[in-house]
Structure 1
Amino acid sequence: MNHGVLGWLLIGLVAGVLGKLIMPGRDPGGFIVTILLGIAGALLAGYVATILNIGVEGWVRQYGAATLGAIALLIVYRLIMRARGS
């Protein structure tokens, strides 16, 4: 099932929420920024999977890849914001 960009955007909404649940804490920008990072992470995961020719078929793999992408971007975001505040 190939959703394209719109599918990854919708999956990203859920991935952003899952990312926030997996990595709780106070983030600059709050919940909305985390959801946006989830969308960006999902798009990143879809793009990387396409480039590496990794099959991300099935909803479990799609949500898993999107959630990992969201968590990765959330970690990078927190590191950047922490370095900026110091």
Structure 2
Amino acid sequence: MGFIAFLILGLIAGAIAKLILPGDQAGGWIATMVLGVIGALLGGWVGSAVFGVGLENFWSFQTWIVAIIGSIVVLLIWGFFTRSRHAH
């Protein structure tokens, strides 16, 4: 997959992850979509290492699933760190 397609995938996966996750994550939509790109990268890396499913084909259902799951994981980690920082 090309770089631009990967960025688009990550941005959309981040937006979908934000819609799926309950609560208010710090950072707004722009930060969420940037974290979505990071999550898509993480999801693709873990997906290819563990399940043999990477981010090779933009239109593949499996590509979108691993990108969205990766984005959700990154957003959960981000929410954990930003929430604990604001609590003190």
Deviation at 1:12, TM superposition (A): 0.6
Deviation at 1:45, TM superposition (A): 1.2
Structure 1 gaps of 5+ residues are none
Give the CA RMSD over aligned residues. 1.9
Percent identical: 35
- 1:37–1:70: 8 Å Cα contact kept in structure 2? yes
Gaps of 5+ in 2: none
* CA distance 1:7–1:15, shift in 2 (3 Å): same
Count of residues paired in the alignment: 84
**Contact 1:45–1:65 under 8 Å retained in 2:** yes
- Structure-1 residue corresponding to 2:46: 48
SS in 2 for 1:21: helix
Query: Partner of 1:32 in structure 2?
Result: 30
> Which residue does 2:8 correspond to in 1?
10
TM-score, length of structure 2 as denominator length: 0.80
In terms of mean alpha carbon deviation, does 4-13 or 28-37 score higher? 4-13
